[in-house]
Each structure stands twice: as structure tokens, then as C-alpha cells.
Amino acid sequence: MRVLVDPDLCMGCGVCESIAPDIFELGDELHAIVILDPIPEKFRLVVEEAIAECPEVAITIIED
Ligand code: SF4
């Protein structure tokens, strides 16, 4: 799977990075970037948790 963060929606709160630091990192422009691509299946649950907790609904899973 791949994960996308919409930079127009993301407000850089850092919740996703705190939940899944192997997947998300706050970039220089103060929105989260995805640092793993593709993302191994073992991270699916933690990605889904980050999606559920993102206050801006900015994270999307793209299935392979
Ligand atoms: Fe952006 Fe959502 Fe991550 Fe917050 S949780 S930094 S709004 S993608």
C-alpha cells in the first residue's frame, strides 16, 4: 500500500507522526510527509489509527 497526505488539508499538528513515526514526519513546510513508500503491510493498523486520529482527514491509503 501507499499513503498520501494532502498538503492542502494538513495543518501540521503532528498527531500522525506521534502515532506512526516510521511512516510520517513533519516536513519543513509544516505539513506531514510520508517517509516510507511503499508501506509494508505490517504497518496497516498504525496507519489506520493515524487516519482515524487526523483532525483534518488529510491521510489516504492507496491500495496496490
Ligand atoms: Fe497533518 Fe493530519 Fe498528520 Fe496532523 S495528523 S500532521 S493534520 S496529516
pLDDT tens column, 27-61 = 888 899 999 999 999 999 999 999 999 999 999 99
Q: What angle do CA 4, 38, 35 make, to 5 degrees?
A: 60
CB 38 within 8 A of CB 64: yes
Q: What is the number of the ligand 1 atom nearest to the C-alpha of 17?
A: 3
Question: Which residue lies with its CA nearest to atom 4 of ligand 1?
Answer: 13
CB 2 within 8 A of CB 23: no
Position 2 pLDDT exceeds 90: yes
pTM (whole model) above 0.75: yes
**Mutation pick for ligand 1 pocket among 8, 28, 54 (CB with most ligand atoms within 8 Å):** 54
Grid cell, residue 53, equals 486520529
Position 63 pLDDT exceeds 90: yes
Local structure of residue 21 (DSSP, 8 states): T
